[in-house]
Structure 1
Amino acid sequence: MAVRRGAGVRVRLTALAVLVVGLGLVAGGAVALTLVRDQLTGNAEAEARRQAESFAPMISGGLPSVLPPLVQVVARDGTVLGASSELAHTRLLALWPDGGAVKGTSRLPDGEHHAVAGVLASMGGQPVAVFAAVSLEHAEEGVEAATTALSIIVPILLVAVGGTSWLVVGRALRPVEAIRERVTEITASQLSRRVPEPPADDEVGRLARTMNEMLARLEEVHDRQRRFAADAAHELRSPLASLRTRLEIGLAHSSGTDWVRLAGDLHREAVRLGDLTDELIVLALADGVTEPVGWVDLDEVVLAEIDAVRTRGVVDVELSPFSAARMRGRAGELSRVVRNLLDNAEHHARHRITVGLWSAERFAELVVADDGPGVPDSDRTKVFERFFRSQRARERDSGGAGLGLAIVREVTERHGGLVWLADSAEGACFHVRLPLAVEPSA
C-alpha cells in the first residue's frame, strides 16, 4: 500500500510563520492607515475651524465685498448670505452650530473632498453661521503614500520571515534527520550503535537520549535472548542425548537389555527434561507476563508452599520469625519465587529449613535458610545466573537445571525488589525484599 506523503514539518512551520506574520502585518497596516487618515483629517478640520473663527468677527457690521477662499456665511433659514466664488452655489454643511462648532466633510463641484468646520457668529444683530473648508488632498496623498509603502514593505518582510523560518526550522530539525538516518541503518545485528545526541538539553536532545536508552535496553534483551537460546540448547542436548544413547544401546542389544530398568532410567530423564522445559517456558515468557496485578497475602502464599514441603516429609520446616505481609503483585509469580527457594533449600538441607517473613513500613522481607553445606565463596555471585549449577549439585542426580534461582531473581526484580545470599553460620540463607507499595513492571 502506498504511503501518502503530506507537507513536511519544515514546510508547515514555515507556512504557519508566514501566515501568522502576514495576518499581523495586514492588521497592523490597516490600523496604521486608519490612524494616519484620522490624524490628517483631524488636522484639516482643526485648520478649517481656525479659519472660520478668525473670519467670524469680521462680519459683525456686515459682509465684506470679497470673502476669503472657501468661506461661506449662512443664515438661520439656510440661505447662503455670502460665499467665495467657488462656493457660490454650494451649501458646505446642512448643520447649524447651535452648540458652538460643527465639523464634517464635503465634496465640492471640482470633485475634491474638503474638511468643513462651522461656528456661530452675529451679523447686524442677527445670528449667522460661518463655514470654512480645507482641502483633504494632502491627507489623501499621505494615506496613499502609506499604502504604497506598506504594499512594498509587507511582501519583503514576509519573504524575510519565510526565509528565516525555513533556515531556523531546518537547523532545528537537522538533528532529527540525523537520528532518522542512523535509525534506518541500525539492524538486529547492530544494536550496539547509537543515534547522535545533540549537546542542547532540549526536546530533540531528550528524544535522542531516550532513543539511545531504548536501544541499550533492546541490545540487552537481544543479548539475553541469544545467551538464553544458546544455554537452553546446551542444557537440552544432555538429556536428549542420554535418552537417545540408552535407547540405541537397548535396541542394538535387545535380547540382553533389562527393559524395566531402562524404562525407569528413561522415565527419570523424561522427568528431568519436563522440569527443564517448564522452567525454560517460565523464563521465555518473563518479558510478556499477562497475569493481572492484585493484592497478594504473601504470608498465605508462603504457608501454602511450606505445606507442600511438609507433605513430602523430606525435611522439617520451622517458622521464625513470621508475620503477615500484604502487597501488590502477581500471585502466581510470587508463589514460584517461594516454591523455588524452598525447593532449593530442600534439595541442599540435611534436616531443617527455616523460613522467616516480616514487613516494615515500606517493604516485606522473606528469608529461607537451610542447614546444608552452604554455597562456596567462589559461587556466591553466580548462583542467580541462568543454568548455573555448582559442582556439588552436578554430582547429584537431582541437581536441577540451574534455573530456579534465576527465576527468583527475575520475578523479584520485576516486582521492584531485591534478592541476595546473606552470610550464614551454616547452610545457605536467601533474602528476598519486596516493596509493599510499588506496582510490578510488565
Structure 2
Amino acid sequence: MAASRRAGVRVRLTALAVLVVGLGLVAGGAVALTLVRDQLTGNAEAEARRQAGSYAPMISGGLTSALPPLVQVVTRDGTVLGAGSELAHTRLLALWPENGAVKGTSRLPDGEHYVVAGVSASVRDRPVAVYAAVSLEHADEGVEAATTALVIIVPILLIAVGGTAWLVVGRTLRPVEAIRERVTEITASQLDRRVPEPPTDDEVGRLARTMNEMLARLEEVHDRQRRFAADAAHELRSPLASLRTRLEVGLAHPSRTNWVRLAGDLHREAVRLGDLTDELIVLALADGVTEPVEQVDLDEVVLTEIDAVRTRGVVDVELTPFSAARLRGRAGELSRVVRNLLDNAEHHAAHRITVGLWSADGFAELVVADDGPGIPAPDRAKVFERFYRSQRARDRDTGGVGLGLAIVREVTERHGGAVWLADSADGACFHVRLPLAADPA
C-alpha cells in the first residue's frame, strides 16, 4: 500500500508537470502561429498596397497599356475598366477606398486566397479605384510549416518533460522512502536508531532531522520510564520485604512476639509505603499533565504551605524578604514544589527555616533555607536525582524516599524555570526561579 501511494504521488506530480507544460506549449504555439500568420499576411498586404499605389499615378492620362497580371481598375459604379491577365472582369473588392486606401481578402477563380489592397485614383478626371492582389500562398505555407513543426516538437518536449519530472520526483522521494523503511524497522527496543538524513537543507532534510529529534525525545522518555520502573521496584521491594519478614517472624513465634510493638513498626512501614506511592504517582503523571495553566499568586501558595509547617510547630519559619509574585502555571504542581522544599527543610533544620520570595528581571525567585547540617559537597550535584538520598538521610528512620527534590526539579523545569542548591554558611539553601506572568496589553 505504501508503494502504491508513493507511485501515486510520483504519477500525479509527473502528470501535473506534463499537463502544465503541455497547456503552456499549446497556448504558446497558438500565439506563435497567430503571430506568424499576421506577419506574413501583413507583408502581403503591404506588397498589395505598394503595387496599387505605384500604378495609380500611371493611369491618370488613361489606360494606355496592359495592366499587371493582378491589378484591376474599377469605377465607382462597379464597372471594371481594366484588369490584368490573371483576373476576370469581376470586381476584386466590393469596398471603395473612401479615405484613400482599403484592404480585404478575396478568392480568385484559380481557387487561391489573395489579399487585396485598393487606392483612389482618377482616369481623365474620372474617379476610379486601383486594386492589387497578392497571393497568400506563402503565408499559408508558412503557417502550415510552423504547425507541422509544433506538432512534432510539442510531443517530444512533453515526453522529455514527463521523463525528467519522473526522474526528479523519484530522486526527491528516494530519501522519504528510506526514512519510511527505517521507521518501520524501529521498535520500542531500538529507539537509539535514527533515520538517514540527506545532506540538503530542503523540506526532506528538515523532515528527517525533525524525525530524529522526535526519536531522541522518545528514547529519552523511554529510558526515563525504564529507570523509573526499575527504581520504583527497587524502592518498593525493601519496605515490602521488611513487612513480610516481620509478619512471618511474628506468625512463627506468636507467643514471643510483642504485637503492639510489631503493629507500630508495621504502621511506620505502611506510612513510608504510602508516601512513596504518592510520590510515584506524581512522577508517573508528570509526562501527561492535565491540570490547566492559569494565573497563580506564588506568594499565596507559599504562605499556605508555611501555615501547615507552623501548625506542626516543629521549627520556626521566618519570612525575609518576601513580596508578591504572579506567574502562569499549575497551582497544584507549584504547591507541590513549595511543600517538598519546606518538608525537606523541616526534616533537616535544627531550629529555623528561612523563606524568601521576590521578583526581578521578569522572574520570581523563591529561596528556602534551613539551619541544619547542610548537604555534603559530593551530594550537591545528585540531590535532584530520583531516589537519591544522602547517607545521613538513610541513617535516620524518618528519611524520605528520595523523590521530593526530583519532583521539584521536574515541575520547575516544566514551568520554564530552574532550581539549584546555593552555597551557604550553614544548612542548605535552595533557589527556585520561575518566569513571571506577562503583563496584559
TM-score (norm 2): 0.96
1:227 maps to 2:227: yes
C-alpha distance in structure 2 between counterparts of 1:318 and 1:57, whole Å: 123
> After superposition, where does 1:152-163 map in structure 2 within 5 Å?
152-163=152-163
Query: What per-residue deviation string (whole Å, max 9, x for no partner) do you get for residues 84-109 of structure 1?
Result: 24422432111101101101111112
1:3 deviates by 11
1:7 deviates by 5.1
> After superposition, where does 1:32-431 map in structure 2 within 5 Å?
32-64=32-64, 66-431=66-431
Query: What per-residue deviation string (whole Å, max 9, x for no partner) do you get for residues 264-307 of structure 1?
Result: 22221111111100100000010100111111110100000000
Amino acid at match of 2:196: P
C-alpha distance in structure 2 between counterparts of 1:255 and 1:431, whole Å: 54
Residue in 2 aligned with 1:21? 21
Amino acid at match of 1:88: A
Deviates more, 1:80-89 or 1:139-148: 80-89
Amino acid at match of 1:351: H
Amino acid at match of 1:336: R
Task: List runs of 5+ in structure 1 lacking aligned partners.
Answer: none
Query: What per-residue deviation string (whole Å, max 9, x for no partner) do you get for residues 102-144 of structure 1?
Result: 0111111222110100011111210000111111011000000
Amino acid at match of 1:395: D
Amino acid at match of 2:170: G
Amino acid at match of 1:241: A
Query: Is 2:295–2:437's contact at 8 Å kept on the other side of the alignment?
Result: no
Amino acid at match of 2:76: R
Query: Is 1:14–1:166's contact at 8 Å kept on the other side of the alignment?
Result: yes
1:5 deviates by 4.1
1:166 deviates by 1.8
Amino acid at match of 1:62: G
C-alpha distance in structure 1 between counterparts of 2:66 and 2:2, whole Å: 88
1:247 deviates by 1.8
Query: Is 2:68–2:85's contact at 8 Å kept on the other side of the alignment?
Result: no
Task: List runs of 5+ in structure 2 lacking aligned partners.
Answer: none
1:437 deviates by 4.1
C-alpha distance in structure 1 between counterparts of 2:189 and 2:11, whole Å: 36
Amino acid at match of 1:408: V
**Tell me, what secondary structure is at the counterpart of 2:189?**
helix
Amino acid at match of 1:54: S
1:203 deviates by 1.9
Amino acid at match of 1:321: P
C-alpha distance in structure 2 between counterparts of 1:296 and 1:413, whole Å: 17
C-alpha distance in structure 1 between counterparts of 2:163 and 2:356, whole Å: 72
C-alpha distance in structure 1 between counterparts of 2:179 and 2:356, whole Å: 52
Query: Is 1:419–1:431's contact at 8 Å kept on the other side of the alignment?
Result: yes
1:431 deviates by 0.6
1:52 deviates by 1.1
1:337 deviates by 0.2
Query: What per-residue deviation string (whole Å, max 9, x for no partner) do you get for residues 299-354 of structure 1?
Result: 10000000000000011100111111111111110000000000000011111111
C-alpha distance in structure 2 between counterparts of 1:437 and 1:150, whole Å: 69
**Tell me, what secondary structure is at the counterpart of 2:138?**
helix
Q: How many residues align?
A: 439
**Tell me, what secondary structure is at the counterpart of 2:357?**
strand
Deviates more, 1:154-163 or 1:398-407: 154-163
Query: Is 1:82–1:88's contact at 8 Å kept on the other side of the alignment?
Result: no
1:26 deviates by 0.8
C-alpha distance in structure 2 between counterparts of 1:436 and 1:166, whole Å: 55
1:44 deviates by 0.7
Query: Is 2:382–2:388's contact at 8 Å kept on the other side of the alignment?
Result: yes
**Tell me, what secondary structure is at the counterpart of 1:389?**
coil
Query: What per-residue deviation string (whole Å, max 9, x for no partner) do you get for residues 140-159 of structure 1?
Result: 00000000001111111111
Query: What per-residue deviation string (whole Å, max 9, x for no partner) do you get for residues 157-203 of structure 1?
Result: 11111112222222222222222222121111111111122222222
Deviates more, 1:267-276 or 1:84-93: 84-93
Query: Is 1:90–1:108's contact at 8 Å kept on the other side of the alignment?
Result: no
C-alpha distance in structure 2 between counterparts of 1:59 and 1:262, whole Å: 145
**Tell me, what secondary structure is at the counterpart of 2:23?**
helix
Q: Identity of paired residues, percent? A: 89
